[in-house]
Structure 1
């Protein structure tokens, strides 16, 4: 099989040929049809992601496909099932072996491309906003980087939860995508975020994927008693949080990383995914995929993410074999 692989001796990943192992205890083998790219894949290449495995390994955090073999002690799954797997790595390959407890069956209405774009961004948004931040109907949610994979799903989910959503993104085209996802108010990245949000009454919940100066402005625009979620640092700077300001304004900063939550609170993540799939089947969620590229163009897909040229998700599709 072909795989986009990080070797122990090369700094850059390459498309190589590997043998696919048979599934072991509690594992399944999947013929991969699609793999969603995430900004974390770029961090993994640079060994700066919190869950970077030791090389050699294959990149690709989430996949969709069909089960082709099942190892011992796996229940609830059958050969031929259409599944999505939040695998963490190993997804940018024509086949893969994954832990069965990371797999979910996908509905017939969901394409493989949509399924590969679903678990990480929608799961992050829903668990963070519902379980962690307790977003309430009528509250104001500020989403930064609102046209990217994580931000755009937070806009959709916030609207489904009854919030008024303020979306910040760069440029008219990206803001239009956030508007189509349900944003009530739009703020261009070149505008003064703090003053614009304050003029709209301030934010009760902040979902920030950018960090740096954007975080600082959002922090200052948060109303007393508000909750802030530092989801990512696409701007490159990890912000430092002034504890005295938390005290004065009774603010809560909530750390959330879905990979860690899947290990420590799997029932919460699985329950969230059940809700999200029901919303999808009911037509309440519309995964946005700006680019679908073949496996031999993974590097191009990574560049789209790195240079912020994509919106929603970039998905890699596997060759027919």
Structure 2
């Protein structure tokens, strides 16, 4: 089978022909129909992601497909089942073996491409805004990088939770995407973010996917007792947070890493995914997929992420 792998710690990712894996105890083998790309895939290629596996390994963190075989002890899934799996790795291949407890059954209303686009982006935003920040109806939510893979889902979920959503993104096209997702106010990346947010009454919750100067401006526009969620650092700079400023305004900075919950509270992730797939079946969320590419074009998909030329998700269909 074909797989997009990092062959060694010093080698670039390449498409390789490898043996089809066999499921072990508690595992399922999935014929992969779709795999969502994530910024973490880029970091893994540089070896800078916090959960980069030892080489050789196959890239691809979230997949959807059809169960092809099950290992000993698996009782909740069988061949032919449509599933979504937050795999962590192994998704950019024709087949993959994954722990069954990372899988959820996929409703018939959800396509494989949509399922591959929902898990990490929507799961991160749902857990961040609901479980961690406790976003309340009537509060103001600021989302930076609002047309990106996770930012766009934060706009959509924030609106579903009853918040007033301020979306910041670069350019009219990306701001239009955020508006369609439910943003109430739009701020171009070239504008003075701090002043614009303050003019709108300040932010109660900040969902920041950019870092650097954008986080600093958002920090200064946060209302007293506000909560800040540093989700990612697409701008390249991890912000340093002045603790004395936290004290003055009684602010809270909240860490969120969806993958971490798989290690100590996996039910948080599973419950979130079940909620999200139910919302999808009810028509309450609709993933935005800007590009669908075959496995042979996965490098092009990575380039789209790297150059920030995509909106929503890029999905690979092996």
With the shorter chain as reference, the TM-score category is over 0.9
Structure 2: any 5+ residue segments left out of the alignment? Answer: none
Name which of structure 1's ranges 2-11 and 80-89 shifts more when overlaid on structure 2.
2-11
Q: Is the aligned partner of 1:282 residue 2:282?
A: yes
Structure 1 residue matching 2:150: 3-state secondary structure = helix
SS in 2 for 1:196: helix
State the shift of 1:11 in Å. 2.1
Matched, 1:269 2:269: yes
Q: Is the 8 A contact 1:20 1:97 kept in 2?
A: no
Provide the rounded CA distance (Å) in 2 between the counterparts of 1:248 and 1:155: 28
8 Å CA contact retained: 1:142, 1:205: yes
Counterpart-to-counterpart distance in 1, 2:113 and 2:174: 21
Is contact 2:102–2:270 with CA below 8 Å preserved after alignment? no
Query: 1:134 aligned to 2:104?
Result: no
Paired position in structure 2 for 1:159: 159
TM-score by length of 1: 0.98
The CA distance in 2 between the partners of 1:192 and 1:81, in whole Å, is 50
Q: 1:262, CA displacement in angstroms?
A: 2.1
Cα distance, 1:272 vs structure 2: 1.5
Hey, what does 1:92 align to over in structure 2? 92
> Hey, what's the Cα distance between the residues in 2 that align with 1:257 and 1:292?
26
SS at match of 2:291: strand
- CA–CA separation in structure 2 for the residues paired with 1:76 and 1:259: 23
Note the alpha carbon deviations across 1:273-312, whole angstroms, 9 max, x for none: 1211111111010100000000011110000000000000
Give the corresponding residue for 1:222: 222
1:62-121 deviation digits (Å, cap 9, x = unpaired): 111000000011121121000011100110000010111111111101111001111001
Aligned length: 318
Q: Contact 1:208/1:215 (CA < 8 Å) preserved in 2?
A: yes
TM-score normalised by length of structure 2 = 0.99
Q: Does 1:295 align with 2:278?
A: no
Aligned position for 2:234: 234
Asked whether the 8 Å contact 2:65–2:82 carries over to 1, the reply is yes
SS at 2:156 equivalent:
helix
Q: Which residue of 1 aligns with 2:41?
A: 41
Counterpart CA distance in 1 for 2:116 and 2:240 is: 33
Alignment of 1:147-186 (within 5 A): 147-186=147-186
Corresponding residue for residue 8 of structure 2: 8
- Once residues 233 and 109 of structure 2 are traced to their aligned partners in structure 1, the CA distance between those partners, rounded to angstroms, is 34
Residue range with higher mean Cα deviation, 117-126 or 274-283: 274-283
8 Å contact 2:27–2:97 — kept in the other structure?
Answer: yes
Q: For residues 91 and 269 of structure 1, what CA distance do their matches in structure 2 show?
A: 18
> Which stretch of structure 1 is more off in the superposition, 71-80 or 251-260?
71-80
Q: Give the conservation status (yes or no) of the 8 Å contact 1:126–1:272.
A: yes
Is the contact made by 1:142 and 1:206 (CA closer than 8 Å) also made in structure 2?
Answer: yes
2:310 aligns with 310
Equivalent residues of 1:187, 1:196 under 8 A apart: yes
For 2:109 and 2:210, locate their aligned partners in 1 and report how far apart those are by CA, in whole Å: 33
Task: Write the deviation string for residues 208-228 of structure 1: whole angstroms up to 9, x where unpaired.
Answer: 000000000000000000000
- Distance between the aligned counterparts of 1:113 and 1:291, measured in 2? 10
Gaps of 5+ in 1: none
CA distance in 2, matches of 1:273, 1:297: 28
Shift of 1:10: 4.8
Give 1:263 shift: 1.7
Q: Is the 8 A contact 1:206 1:229 kept in 2?
A: yes
For the Cα contact (< 8 Å) 1:166–1:186, is it kept in 2?
Answer: yes
Deviation at 1:264, TM superposition (A): 1.6
Secondary structure of the residue aligned to 1:104 is strand
